[in-house]
Amino acid sequence: MHRPDGRFIWYELLTTDPDAAAAFYRAVVGWSAQNCGQPGFDYRFFLAGDGAAVGGHMALPHGAAEAGMRPAWLGYIGVADVDSAVDAIVAAGGSVQMAAMDVEHVGRIAMVTDPLGAPFYVMRGTGEQASAAFDPTLPGHCHWNELATIDQQAALDFYGDQFGWTRGDTMPMGEMGDYQLIEQDGRAIGAIMTRPPAGPPPSWTFYFGVPDIDAAAAAINDNGGAIMHGPAEMPGGGFIIVANDPQGAAFGLVGPRKP
């Protein structure tokens, strides 16, 4: 699962209640949960309807909540060499949140932030199989990766330098500036935008595909989540939702509206 080429290869939910989170996302996205199988390590996979593992979830590390960390989704970006990637990120103004470490049967990972403070992981997996976590054509997989930051141009430069991402089309957003699409190997993988003045700290939001956006909206409301935006129509068709799960982690959904 390493794909050392600057792609998002995994998504991870850190939460205060893994059991409740598993039940919520099963109802909303259709994922099933499966324990990773490593003794003494309560880490669970999220499986899409096609059986592909698209992400994982686990409890916040001990002491993290007391230190101010809140439930959140984080993305993993594949790199060829984790230690070299961390060194380059720090040299560019980023910071290390969790030093590089080896995870048995999984690979080497580190948690970092970009220079504006948005957290993410870098990872080199042990296997050769390509990750299926990001696939805009399949329900239950991630369809879009969106960064809201305090300095759009600085973020674009940073991720371009570190991972080879390029700038695609732009969409004007009025006083908030442009919604700048980002591409990897010529394919749009997400966007970078300026966060609202009163918005949360810089962070990534990941949009997962659902087959019926209105059914997903109802499931969010019925299962203790909170819709912050949407369903809203996107240019070119389809609808999006931005929501918080019952533990407070922000996530996105994208999908069609059934007739």
Confidence (pLDDT) at 125 = 86
Tens of pLDDT along 211-239?
Answer: 999 999 999 999 999 999 999 999 878 99
21 with 13: CB under 8 angstroms? yes
Number of residues that make up the chain? 259
DSSP structural state of residue 202:
S
Domains assigned to the chain: 8-125 (3.10.180.10), 142-255 (3.10.180.10)
pLDDT category at 138 given cuts 50, 70, 90 is: very high
Q: CA triplet 192, 148, 28: central angle to 5 degrees?
A: 100
**pLDDT above 80 (res 42):** yes
Judged by DSSP in three states, 210 sits in coil
- Sole residue written with tokens 């700048």: 180
Q: What is the pLDDT of residue 3?
A: 42
pLDDT of residue 180 exceeding 50: yes
User: Residue 13 pairs with which residues in a beta bridge?
Assistant: 57, 73
Residue 4 above 70 pLDDT?
Answer: no
**pLDDT tier, 18 (very low <50, low <70, confident <90, very high otherwise):** very high
Nearest Cα neighbor of 158 from 100, 97, 88 is 88
Q: Rounded to an integer, what distance in angstroms lies between the CA atom of residue 240 and that of residue 129? A: 30
pLDDT in tens, 105-137: 888 999 999 999 999 999 998 877 789 999 999
